[in-house]
Amino acid sequence: MGISRDSWHKRRSTGGRMSQLRKKRKFELGRPASNTKLGPKRVHTVRTRGGNTKYRALRLDTGNFSWGSEATSRKTRIIDVVYNASNNELVRTKTLVKSCIVQIDATPFRQWYEAHYAAPLGRKKNIKLTETEEAVLKKVRSKKTMKKYVQRQKTKQVEQSLEDQFSTGRVLAKIASRPGSTGRCDGYVLEGKELEFYARKMKTRKGK
């Protein structure tokens, strides 16, 4: 038995059986799930109806993630799968699907933030910075340039829960693309009410 996406093999809402009017058709086919895992990139192409192509990601470890409140995107490393609303098994097996919650490397976003605002982000006190990090923060700038940075610093605002994540070097993000269809694992950094919601969900799931 192949995977079928037709409806005539199902029962009616009243419980009666549908009579089979025809055999299976090519346009009713379904394919096995890709079950994209966390690992070095491996993408297969699948020919689909109309000569189109799907990109079946079998393994991925990077993706483009956007930071909505700062309106910037960076390519970063996916570290771990931490929550999936549909199935705990997908967390255990580190399966990447749309809308699952992952931990990503915060370094590219921190580097952008510190270069853009000339201010530290998620830095713990009494921890020595590397020479390159100090060079970015303590760079000697002209008065005109410094004026621009001071203006930017007036509007900078990162919520405490997100800053705490930056201090650990990992931030929570949600996958918005479909790895099994597009061959990409893109998404966005969780903030605000959405971050609170998923933090609460993860806490209750750990408690069980």
pLDDT of the chain, 208 residues: tens digit per residue: 689 999 999 999 999 999 999 999 999 999 999 999 999 999 999 999 999 999 999 999 999 999 999 999 999 999 999 999 999 999 999 999 999 999 999 999 998 988 888 788 877 766 666 767 666 676 777 778 888 888 887 878 888 899 889 989 899 999 999 999 999 999 999 999 999 999 999 988 876 6
Nearest-angstrom CA–CA distance, 147 and 11: 70
Q: Is the pTM of this model over 0.75?
A: yes
Structure tokens at 169: 């070097």
